[in-house]
Amino acid sequence: MVTIKEIAKRCNVSIATVSNIINGKPNVGRETREKVLKTIEELNYTPNYIAKNLKTRRSKTIGVVVEDITAFCAPNIVDGITKCCEEKGYHILLTNLRLYRKFGESYYENEKFFPMIQKEIKELIAKQVDGIVYVTTHERVLKCLPEELNVPAVMAYGYTRSPKYPSIVVDDRKGAAEVIRYLFSMGHRRIGTVSGPVRSIHTRERLLGVQDIFTEQGIPFEKKCVVEGDWRRGSGYRGTDSLLEQKVTAIFCMSDIMAGGVYDRLGELGLIPGKDISVAGFDDRELSTYYKPPLTTTALPLFEIGYTACEHAIRKIEGSDCGEEPEELLEIARSCSLTVRDSVKDIRIR
């Protein structure tokens, strides 16, 4: 293996100069830099990260644990982590637990999988990662990060409820409020909601966002205008008739998938979404652009969640002592963004 010493000798420069060029440090002349870089390419030099890590006691590696990479939210979160690592000069060591593939939705509320998760985290620690980012694929409270971790850890998309580990999450309340505020701006006052399961953090926060806007507008919020769904298309279908009985002019679905079910039922009844009944969703899944008409919805800040989580981990690695715990919980909510399409009709009196 070619060494820095050999490159320095061939270029007639110091070892320190070669090291500075490899590490992107300034204060090296252009001609010298070009000469060294050309020699590095000719000799096919590869840095010896193991030796460097032994010297610095850092691997410049973030261990990323993903519950299931096939979940719709996971790829964009991991992309955000990757982008942050690229900018900060870190590498990623990724572990895909495949929990949904192995156990289906039963793992959402079952703590028996925690030992498996903790085992994978400890294996990453054994591989000398400098920090951990744990990516949940269902926003919920998790106590799966071992308390005795000796490296920084951050949870993306879920809540740790621990002062030791920050949580980077979706601002569901503000996101839902933005959708309802838009519906009000288009003249709608009788607004029905297809919620997620009552036990879900998403559901609770989004319902609070809905109520916020009704309060803001000085209009009583009617619980009978809310039907419980389960995130699946069928629940949107089944809830449509009940909401139509309440004479709603618009239906807010807490997921784009359930909005598809509302479209299905409206079609059977001879009603046109965006014309006879307005419909809005949540998540901004790719399929929402293929609905007829395309669905007004709100995009989750998945990339930003991943980036922020990784940024916090790196900041902790390079900054304060890992053993020093903050006094308060650190929960950072990233904002959603409304995407207006053609499924909401303007019914304002002109």
- Chain segment 158-187, per-residue pLDDT in tens: 999 888 899 999 999 999 999 999 999 999
Rounded Cα gap, residues 215 and 307, in angstroms: 34
- Are the C-beta atoms of 138 and 121 separated by less than 8 Å? no
pLDDT of residue 328: 55
The size of the chain, in residues, is 350
> Residue 330: its pLDDT value, please?
79
Residue 173: predicted pLDDT: 96
Q: What is the pTM of this model?
A: 0.82
For residue 79, pLDDT beyond 70 = yes
- 27 dihedral zone (left: phi>0; alpha: psi -120 to 50; beta): left
Tell me what the pLDDT averaged over the chain comes to: 90
Rounded distance between C-alpha atoms, residue 202 and residue 140, angstroms: 8
Higher pLDDT pick, 128 / 51: 128
Half-sphere exposure (CA, 13 Å, Cβ side) for 86?
8
pLDDT over threshold 70, residue 51: no
CA distance 201 to 214: 20
Please state whether beta strands 61-66 and 91-96 pair in parallel, antiparallel, or not at all (unpaired): parallel
Beta strands (DSSP E) in 88-217 are: 91-96, 131-135, 153-156, 167-170, 191-195
Confidence of residue 316 (pLDDT cuts 50, 70, 90): very high
Query: What whole-number distance in Å separates Cα of residue 193 and Cα of residue 291?
Result: 19
For the stretch 2-49, pLDDT in tens is 788 888 899 999 988 988 888 777 778 888 988 998 998 888 887 665
Q: Is the pLDDT of residue 52 over 70?
A: no
- What does the DSSP 8-state code read for residue 295? P
Of the candidates 305, 27, 342, 6, the residue with the CA atom closest to the CA atom of residue 168: 305
- pLDDT range class, residue 324, cuts 50, 70, 90: very low
Kindly tell me if the per-residue pLDDT of 298 is higher than 50: yes
In the sheet where 331-334 sits, what is the strand order? Answer: 91-96, 61-66, 131-135, 153-156, 167-170, 331-334
Give the position of tokens 């980036």: 307
Q: Are 280 and 251 in contact (CB under 8 A)?
A: yes
In the predicted model, is pLDDT for residue 322 greater than 70? Answer: no
Report the percentage of the chain scoring pLDDT > 70: 93
> Taking residues 235-255, what's their average pLDDT?
97
Count of CA atoms in the C-beta half-sphere (13 A) of 182: 24
pLDDT tens-digit readout, 275-289: 999 999 999 999 999
What pLDDT score was predicted for residue 329?
A: 58
pLDDT score, position 321: 43
**Most confidently modeled range among 98-102, 143-147, 182-186:** 182-186
Instruction: Locate 82 and state its tokens.
Output: 């990757």
pLDDT digits over 200-230, tens only?
999 999 999 999 999 999 999 999 999 999 9
